[in-house]
Amino acid sequence: MQPADPSGVTETAVFVHSLGLCESPNVGKGSRIWAFAHVLAGARLGEDCNVCDHVFIENDVVVGDRVTVKCGVQLWDGLRVGNDVFIGPNATFTNDRFPRSKQYPEQFAQTIVGHGASIGANATILPGVSIGQHAMVGAGAVVTRSVPPYAIVVGNPARIVGYAGDRPEPAGSQEAIAPPTKPGSIRTAIGNVTLHRMNHYKDVRGSLSVGEFQRDIPFEAKRYFLVYDVPSAETRGEHAHRECHQFLICVSGSCAVVADDGRSRQEFLLDAPSIGIHLPPMTWGIQYKYSSDAVLLVLASHLYSAADYVRDYTEFLTLIRASDAR
Amino acid sequence: MQPADPSGVTETAVFVHSLGLCESPNVGKGSRIWAFAHVLAGARLGEDCNVCDHVFIENDVVVGDRVTVKCGVQLWDGLRVGNDVFIGPNATFTNDRFPRSKQYPEQFAQTIVGHGASIGANATILPGVSIGQHAMVGAGAVVTRSVPPYAIVVGNPARIVGYAGDRPEPAGSQEAIAPPTKPGSIRTAIGNVTLHRMNHYKDVRGSLSVGEFQRDIPFEAKRYFLVYDVPSAETRGEHAHRECHQFLICVSGSCAVVADDGRSRQEFLLDAPSIGIHLPPMTWGIQYKYSSDAVLLVLASHLYSAADYVRDYTEFLTLIRASDAR
Amino acid sequence: MQPADPSGVTETAVFVHSLGLCESPNVGKGSRIWAFAHVLAGARLGEDCNVCDHVFIENDVVVGDRVTVKCGVQLWDGLRVGNDVFIGPNATFTNDRFPRSKQYPEQFAQTIVGHGASIGANATILPGVSIGQHAMVGAGAVVTRSVPPYAIVVGNPARIVGYAGDRPEPAGSQEAIAPPTKPGSIRTAIGNVTLHRMNHYKDVRGSLSVGEFQRDIPFEAKRYFLVYDVPSAETRGEHAHRECHQFLICVSGSCAVVADDGRSRQEFLLDAPSIGIHLPPMTWGIQYKYSSDAVLLVLASHLYSAADYVRDYTEFLTLIRASDAR
Amino acid sequence: MQPADPSGVTETAVFVHSLGLCESPNVGKGSRIWAFAHVLAGARLGEDCNVCDHVFIENDVVVGDRVTVKCGVQLWDGLRVGNDVFIGPNATFTNDRFPRSKQYPEQFAQTIVGHGASIGANATILPGVSIGQHAMVGAGAVVTRSVPPYAIVVGNPARIVGYAGDRPEPAGSQEAIAPPTKPGSIRTAIGNVTLHRMNHYKDVRGSLSVGEFQRDIPFEAKRYFLVYDVPSAETRGEHAHRECHQFLICVSGSCAVVADDGRSRQEFLLDAPSIGIHLPPMTWGIQYKYSSDAVLLVLASHLYSAADYVRDYTEFLTLIRASDAR
Amino acid sequence: MQPADPSGVTETAVFVHSLGLCESPNVGKGSRIWAFAHVLAGARLGEDCNVCDHVFIENDVVVGDRVTVKCGVQLWDGLRVGNDVFIGPNATFTNDRFPRSKQYPEQFAQTIVGHGASIGANATILPGVSIGQHAMVGAGAVVTRSVPPYAIVVGNPARIVGYAGDRPEPAGSQEAIAPPTKPGSIRTAIGNVTLHRMNHYKDVRGSLSVGEFQRDIPFEAKRYFLVYDVPSAETRGEHAHRECHQFLICVSGSCAVVADDGRSRQEFLLDAPSIGIHLPPMTWGIQYKYSSDAVLLVLASHLYSAADYVRDYTEFLTLIRASDAR
Amino acid sequence: MQPADPSGVTETAVFVHSLGLCESPNVGKGSRIWAFAHVLAGARLGEDCNVCDHVFIENDVVVGDRVTVKCGVQLWDGLRVGNDVFIGPNATFTNDRFPRSKQYPEQFAQTIVGHGASIGANATILPGVSIGQHAMVGAGAVVTRSVPPYAIVVGNPARIVGYAGDRPEPAGSQEAIAPPTKPGSIRTAIGNVTLHRMNHYKDVRGSLSVGEFQRDIPFEAKRYFLVYDVPSAETRGEHAHRECHQFLICVSGSCAVVADDGRSRQEFLLDAPSIGIHLPPMTWGIQYKYSSDAVLLVLASHLYSAADYVRDYTEFLTLIRASDAR
């Protein structure tokens, strides 16, 4: 998709096409500025970037290394783009929620694109959102809210439809590990996450699902909570716990759980009151795709403690690696 | 409603109207047989019964003391009627599920009416059912299944619509004790049964209800079970536990709980995931009026033990009284 | 259906079958008491009544003239039966809402059957209800609430399904007068009641129905009210106004209106926001068969005045006749 | 359920209890009239009937042989009862649809009870209906429409819930023959009726079910018809064809088919577009339990011919037996 | 977001970037044409416009003063743009509803953008629509129908989700004035618009809402109309009356009313039959967000008169100012 | 919409604007390359193309004759564009489904645009799809799946909403030929396609629609199939048969049929079980707009044969023309 490598550019120099215009001195080595592209003087770009035809980059813009900016894209004041980001053709950023001609907000809204993220062709990004690392914005999507790390969003307005797995494809599209059909538990590919089938019985008077805390729940439960009335487009979780174990049962309706141990991630479907999943500490957990009648029962090994939460994915990865190093 | 006391009858004699026909020698003192009534030779009736005009009583019938049988009723072979039962006018019993003329089943189905029960006027009782003690069958009801103690049933087919309270009126019609509006618990009029409001939070992303096991649940939970997919006409429970505590939360939809400590009974509505009810041991509990989407979460203090269940209400009362005597 | 006329009875005497038992001296001339029937001493019956086999009549019972009581019926203490009433075979009355053997209420509930009413075979009448004049209780119905004059009720529990017209058939089953299809009004067979089609327009943006008060509404509206959230089994109205005009439009859903000018009655269906009906003063009006989403808009010519309401149908007829006599 | 055999009655005589009253000379030998029962002079009863206590039988009544009339029943003018009929206690007949006291219809509605039928206890039969042979009216049912042969009806108003099989139990309650799970056909227990599974395929674009006329349909189809918008309480069919084959597929929703070869009957559920059933000529067929969205596709081997229909079950049996005799 | 002011441009001159191409002599003073932008010879632009990089402007285009055209936008033949319009980056106009290569319509569809309007980034505007003054087209919206003044539209296809208030934010997002909770009325911030709570009553038979015309409605009603069956995406109203008062009650379902007195505007929710709103003459009124079951009752002080309607918002403002000046 | 014809270009030469950049020697005569447009060396363009301002065309791109590429479009490696294609302004193509910066798929997905197709302004085309000949992609649509010939798609994601008729307007928007209201058939404007009304009857027991195979179906049916459970956005058919006749009846719900005889096309609505449509051989047929409960019954004159299908529309046209030539 990128233009052929022009013969005259070396790895240490910046290439500017004869019909391109680069006014900034702060462009990293190996980066290329193509025909009809225009980089203003204040912009800062990293190394090995590719700025295609008809791109426009304003002054208060910072772009990382190895970033691809396809044709027809503008990067406005206030934008911060991480390393290894892909921005598809005609993808459009904004920096004023209610723009009026010649009326400027006191401060332009800042939009942040995390490292490794991809913005699909012709997508529209509303002002002030963050695109999480490795997130993928679908072509033509209109992003009105921040996108979590690894999330895949599509549509207008954009909704999360999956999470990128180890490869760029959605985690949920890979071979799923089904819960056991008989009471018991199995290991998954994600850290110490286990999938459980609880005892269950059904007769004409209704159904019954049973669990014994000591035998069936892999920790002593000190707290429970119920999550319900969740709009179907909502995502909850997006955090890890430092010490707290969680055991999740979707007791009504259904929802999906994405578990991530910092190395890989997978999606699990909880669609029966007899299915449980154990998320041990230091598992990044996400719940989404709630059916309208979903009620999620969570058993937790610890009382609530704000300090136990890791809410930033980058911090989570740092902690995982520190733990590995030990 | 009963005929005026004829002058010639004493408390120790049986009165038979001059146009009545009593062929049985086994009728207790003080009982009265009125005009056009007919008691066959094998029937046995207790004391102080009132058998009104146009009643017919077959041979293999046993009736307790102080029973009222209103006009137009027939008591067929196989019927057993406890003490203090009221049978309304034209109420109709049966003893063959698929009757054909001149074809008799090997054994007629036996119908049992528990002591203190009332059968409404013109009700129809299908063969082989039991009417629990103090149960109340509504006028015109068609009873196709057994009726639990104290239950009130109406309609065709008859459905449980309530439970008789201390007085004959339904338990649910009395001034209900609402759950507390703020987190915490309150005592009810029934033994040590307590109603609880759990911590709960609501925002645009959905709702959350939280409980800590040690602080919010009045016992150590060793087991949970989930009851769901209950047809709306079903009743569950109808038993007490000897040692096991239970804590009930209706986590989706709604259901009603009747609690009975052997002295009085009351009905409670669980219609929010933030409401809990604690049923301590030796509480007779009933759950019914399940909404179609109801999911009931029960936390229990003991693992399952068949021996812990008291399933017979009479035995339950005996145990309660024995406990009181101690 | 009635037994053949026995040869020995004259119009001025009471006939009692040789196997019947009549203990009351207060039975009107021309009445007949048949085999195995039993009338207690305190009962009072009018003239030309027919008391069939196996009937039982208690003491505190008053029965009008020309009443038919078919086989297997009991009339309990507290019952008041008007003239020209028909009581079908095995129809069953009650006088205690929550009967328990040997426990009597302080006062038995009184049941009133208005003149000209008919109680269908094997119907069940719960205690304390009133059956309005000329009402018709369907065979097998279980009547749990009072029945308005002329209403036809069926089912368990009994629901109003129509109103008896000039002939015994339901008013709604006769040839209905449809509202005009073009804007304007037409007279109906009932007094000065008129049916109106309002101006209405429809396009892709929705529908519009319009009325001008002076031109389209036949009186000056001083008040409006909206009736909504009416349970589908409910009946409203059942009264006339002395001076107030009403104009009814069912602006959402549908409902039926029965109009009665004291001579005849007819049922009208309001199922479009463009249909109106004018009920002038001294029209007995009933609204029922509300759809679940029905909203009825009523324009009234007078402010609310309790004195303007005639709520008793007998009084209504009296006023109509007085007015006719003038 | 019937009274014990009195010692003094022989098989050739009519027994009348000393407190009973039989005014009719037309009662067959071996019949018994019990206490407080009353048979009017014009009634005609067959042999071996049992008329229990408190029964009343009018003049224009004809009753077959071996009929049981339990206590509290009245048989009104106009009633015709076949052989081997069972009438449960307090079952109530009627003969005037809109009864008013002292107002008689020109002719009473005639009710017919086919031979072998059973009327459940306390059932109510509205005027003018026919109860088909071997039909079974449930206890407490209110029958407002005619009941086909062998049909089982319950409720208020009564609805068909099944068909009596070889034994009195419902045909549908016996071990059902499921359709084959792979494409092909199997024989059933009913004559030459076969159940078919058609080829079918399913993918994300929808489902496909396919049949070849020559290979998959056991006759040459000359006509098709579609039955739809059937109210769920309706029954269709209730006839046989002399020469026409039919092949039924429920292409939307579901319905039940009862097939009867004159010897036995069975119920089949058509709940998928890939299930077919072949009803060869001289099969009595019934379709009922239509879901609200049911569409039944019928392929027929002959064009429509009124003469091909056998609509009377008795005639159907006669034809079957004549065919057998050949 | 706009490029930094180049040092060499004065307020009275037109600035054209050295890499830009302006072929038109009709560009107002103070306007700037940036790099890689191309203005054809026939185009006419007002003063102080900003035409950013990569913009293309055809010949038959008229642009007002102080218009901002962000990067990547094309203005096609037939487009008319008012003063103070903002056109976001990559926003895309069209002028042929069914384009085929080399086939041209007889006349290109004309698109009009009212003064003060804003077109969001990457929005798509279908041919022939009008964007009302001060309207706001959301980023990424696909506009398929004309947009009323001040309306805010988003989505694909674009729907009205609000109306811009005094500030650019939606009128509905500001602190709303709730209707009084007790019968009575309160003033709002908009002219003489008042919010009313009508008398209302609720019992088991349904609900009742009542109004007296003289006391509760602030004018004599000469006409009513009912609006119903409005598709949920529709907007109605969008006009003012010169003399006519209106009183609006949403008698079923709910809808929102925006009232504008020419100075400010606010949104009100009518979601109960007991809420009314009075829109006096010279109030610009809009109704939208109709629920699917909404029925809006409007009482009007005048008969219908086309001359009473002000349908053009600009004319409305002119009239308001003329009235103020008097 | 295209820029005015520059004076200096002749019909046999290629015009390149002085500010445009055309590096390819393979551009057909009469084509024009406008300002700020950039055609790479490997691209091949046909004759009479129009490449507007700010267009970018990569190397591995082949474009047919008479193609219009409006401003702001990029044509990426792998794209193949037929003759007479229109590509609207800012329409955006893609060639990598899950793009990551600097990670390239082994092969870029190839996108094909059939001849005569139009891509609406600002539409987004996902990688690897085919746009069928004469198809029309709505402005702002996001195309995620291949688009059949002549189909009109809009929305995000794009759905088929119609098929282009003889003129560019949708086939369904033209004056439709309604099926006959009485049993019988009528010819349509499409080849030998006929619309049929089958015999049908309706009563309270439901509805009946009947067809005789010889009289009502214009061929001998050898096979039937049922299509059901089709997601509402799905399109089926999109093929012709060489020899097989088909007769379609939508026996539940509704669907639309587009019939095309290679000369013109029209859309028909099947919304009643009594409507049939005959598609003779060599009719290109499409079924879509399935309601959620749609069941389509198809009768076919031949058994299944893969060789009988023509699945490529171009081949279909070729066959039609060959047939015409004979």
pLDDT in tens, E223-268: 999 999 988 778 888 999 999 999 999 999 999 999 999 988 889 9
| Closest chain C CA to residue B170 | C98
Q: How confident is the model at residue D109 (pLDDT cuts 50, 70, 90)?
A: confident
ipTM: 0.88
Tell me the pairing of strands E246-252 and E275-279: antiparallel
Q: Which residues of chain C carry a pLDDT beneath 50?
A: 1-9
Which contacts (CB < 8 Å, 24+ apart) does range F258-261 have? Answer: F258/F163, F258/F171, F258/F172, F258/F285, F258/F286, F258/F287, F258/F288, F259/F188, F259/F190, F259/F191, F259/F193, F259/F283, F259/F284, F259/F285, F259/F286, F260/F150, F260/F190, F260/F284, F260/F285, F260/F286, F261/F190, F261/F191, F261/F193, F261/F320
Instruction: Output the 3-class SS for chain A.
Output: CCCCCCCCCCCCCCEECCCCEECCCEECCCCEECCCCEECCCCEECCCCEECCCCEECCCCEECCCCEECCCCEECCCEEECCCCEECCCCEECCCCCCECCECCCCCCCEEECCCCEECCCCEECCCCEECCCCEECCCCEECCCECCCEEEECCCCEEEEEECCCCCEHHHCCCCCCCCCCEEEECCCCCCEEEECEEEEECCEEEEEEEHHHHCCCCCCEEEEEECCCCCCCEEEEEECCCCEEEEEEECCEEEEEECCCCEEEEEECCCCEEEEECCCCEEEEECCCCCCEEEEEECCCCCHHHEECCHHHHHHHHHHHHHC
Tokens of residue B242, six digits: 């000897």
Predicted confidence band at D166 (pLDDT cuts at 50, 70, 90)? low
Residue D220 has pLDDT above 50, yes or no: yes
Is B1 a residue whose pLDDT tops 50? no
Percent of chain F whose pLDDT exceeds 70: 93
DSSP D213-268: HHHHSSS---EEEEEE---TT--EEEEEESS--EEEEEEES-EEEEEE-SS-EEEE
The sheet carrying F21-22 orders its strands as F21-22, F38-39, F56-57, F74-75, F92-93, F124-125, F142-143
Nearest chain C Cα distance for residue D41, angstroms: 10
Contact flag B207-A229 (C-beta cutoff 8 Å): yes
The letter for the amino acid at A1 is M
Q: Do B293 and A293 touch (CB under 8 A)?
A: yes
List chains touching E (3+ CB pairs under 8 A).
A, C, F
CB-nearest partner of A1 from F92, F95, F156:
F95
* Residue-level pLDDT at B233: 77
Q: Which 58-97 residues of chain C touch chain D by CB within 8 A? A: 66-68, 70-72, 84-86, 88-90
C193 in Cβ contact with C259 (< 8 Å) = yes
Residues 6+ apart with CB under 8 A from D196: D179, D180, D184, D185, D216, D247, D275, D276, D277, D278
Host H or E run for residue D141: none
Say which residues have a Cβ less than 8 Å from residue D106's Cβ, sequence separation at least 6.
none
Average model confidence (pLDDT) for chain C? Answer: 90
Residues of A in contact with F142 (CB under 8 A): 122, 138-141, 156
Q: Which residues of chain A are within 8 Å of residue F157 when distances are taken between CB atoms?
A: 154-155
Using one digit for the tens of pLDDT, what is the confidence trace for B42-56? 999 999 999 999 999
> Catalytic one among A38, A54, A239, A241?
A239
Residues facing E203 on adjacent strands: E206
Q: Decide if pLDDT at D168 tops 60.
A: no
CA-CA-CA-CA dihedral for F110, F114, F118, F122, to nearest 10: 0
Q: For D85-108, what is each residue's pLDDT tens digit?
A: 999 999 999 998 889 888 888 888
F202-237 pLDDT, tens digit per residue, is: 887 788 999 998 889 999 999 999 999 988 778 888
User: How far is C-alpha C99 from the chain's CA centre?
Assistant: 28
Task: For the beta carbon of residue B192, count every other beta carbon within 10 angstroms.
Answer: 15
Spot the catalytic one: F54, F239, F245, F302: F239
The set of chains that have 3 or more CB pairs under 8 A with B is A, C, D
Confidence at residue F290, expressed as pLDDT on a 0 to 100 scale: 93
Instruction: Find out whether F214 and D222 touch, Cβ atoms under 8 Å.
Output: yes
% of residues, chain D, pLDDT over 90: 73
Mutation target vs F (from E34, E92, E108; most F CBs, 10 A cutoff): E92
| DSSP state at residue F241 | E
> Predicted confidence band at D129 (pLDDT cuts at 50, 70, 90)?
very high
Specify the pLDDT at position C214. Answer: 87
Position E4 scores a pLDDT of: 42
Instruction: Answer whether F226 sits within 8 Å of D209, measured CB to CB.
Output: yes
> What six digits make up the tokens of B260?
């009975």
Cis peptide before E157 (omega within 30 of 0): yes
Query: CB distance B88–C94 less than 8 Å?
Result: yes
Q: How far apart are CA D172 and CA D176, in angstroms?
A: 7
CB count within 10 Å of CB E271 equals 14
What is the distance between the alpha carbons of residues A143 and A131, in angstroms, rounded to a whole number? Answer: 9
Q: C94 and B169 in contact by Cβ < 8 A?
A: no
What per-residue confidence (pLDDT) applies to C234? 82
Bridge partner residues of B24 (DSSP): none
Cβ contacts from A onto F, under 8 A:
101
Q: What pLDDT was estimated at residue B2?
A: 41
Q: Are A248 and A221 in contact (CB under 8 A)?
A: no
Q: Tell whether the model's pLDDT for residue B217 goes beyond 50.
A: yes
Kindly state the average pLDDT of the residues B8-13.
Answer: 60
Task: Say what the pLDDT of residue C1 is.
Answer: 38
What pLDDT was estimated at residue B167? 57
Contact present, E16 and E22 (Cβ < 8 Å): yes
- Who wins on pLDDT, B69 or A237? B69
Contact C213 E236 (CB under 8 A): no
Yes or no, beta carbons of D48 and B102 under 8 Å apart: yes
Task: Tell me whether chains B and A touch (3+ CB pairs under 8 A).
Answer: yes
Q: What is the dihedral of CA F174, F178, F179, F182, to 10 degrees?
A: -160
Looking at beta carbons, which residues of chain B come within 8 Å of D71? Answer: 56, 74
Q: Would the CB atoms of F3 and E40 count as touching at under 8 Å?
A: yes
What pLDDT shows up at residue C91? 98
Asked if E239 is an active-site residue, the reply is yes
Q: Which residues of C touch B142 (CB under 8 A)?
A: 156
If you average pLDDT over residues B60-79, what whole number do you get? Answer: 97
- Asked if the C-beta of A155 comes within 8 angstroms of chain F's C-beta atoms, the answer is yes
pLDDT average, residue stretch B279-291: 95
DSSP-assigned letter for residue F265:
E
Q: How far, in Å, are B52, B117, F225 from residue C95 at the CA level?
A: 16, 17, 64
Low-confidence ranges of chain A (pLDDT < 50): 1-9
D90 chain-C contacts, CB cut-off 8 A:
72, 90, 122
Token pair 């991809």 in the structure block, residue: A118
In which band, very low, low, confident or very high, does the pLDDT at B196 lie, cut at 50, 70 and 90?
very high
Nearest chain F residue to D224 by CA: give it: F211
Whether residue D67 and residue B21 make contact (CB cut-off 8 A), yes or no, is no
> CA F270, CA A183: separation in Å to the nearest integer?
50
State the Cα–Cα distance between residues D270 and D279, nearest whole angstrom: 13
What distance in Å separates the CA atoms of residue F7 and residue F10, rounded to the nearest whole number? 8
Which residues of chain D make contact with F210, given a CB cutoff of 8 A? 223-226, 304
Cα nearest neighbour of D287 on chain F? F205
**Nearest chain A Cα distance for residue E69, angstroms:** 9
Residue E5 DSSP symbol:
P
CB-based contact (8 Å) between D176 and chain B?
A: no
In whole numbers, what is the pLDDT of chain B averaged over residues? Answer: 90
Q: Do F209 and D228 touch (CB under 8 A)?
A: yes
Measured from the Cβ of residue B295, the count of other Cβ atoms closer than 10 Å reads: 27
B98 contacts D168? CB cut-off 8 A: yes
Residue D164 pLDDT: 85
| Alpha-carbon gap: C148 to the closest alpha carbon of chain E (Å) | 15
Report d(CA F214, CA C155) in Å as an integer: 49
Half-sphere exposure of B265 (CA within 13 A, CB side): 32
Is the pLDDT score of F288 beyond 70?
yes
How much is the pLDDT for E105? Answer: 81
Strand partners, A227: A296, B208
**Which residue segments constitute the domains of chain C, with CATH numbers given?**
169-325 (2.60.120.10)
**pLDDT of D237:** 87
Q: Kindly tell me if the per-residue pLDDT of E55 is higher than 50.
A: yes
- Which of A122, A133, A142 best probes binding to F when mutated, by most F CB atoms within 10 angstroms? A122
Show residues of chain F in contact with E101, CB under 8 Å.
66-68, 84-86, 116, 118
Q: Is E176 a residue whose pLDDT tops 70?
A: no
Beta-bridge mates of residue C15: C32
Residues of B involved in catalysis: 239
Chain E residues touching residue A59 (CB < 8 angstroms): 4
pLDDT, position A3: 44
Contact between chains at B225 and A210 (C-beta distance less than 8 A): yes
CA distances from A173 to A47, A170, A261, B239 (A): 34, 5, 18, 48
In F, which residues are within 8 Å of E43 by CB distance? none
Q: Which position has the token pair 């006349």?
A: E107
The backbone torsions φ and ψ at residue A113, rounded to the nearest 5 degrees and listed phi first, read -115, 115
Interface contact A145, partner E, CB < 8 A: no
pLDDT at site F234: 82
Amino acid E173: pLDDT: 53
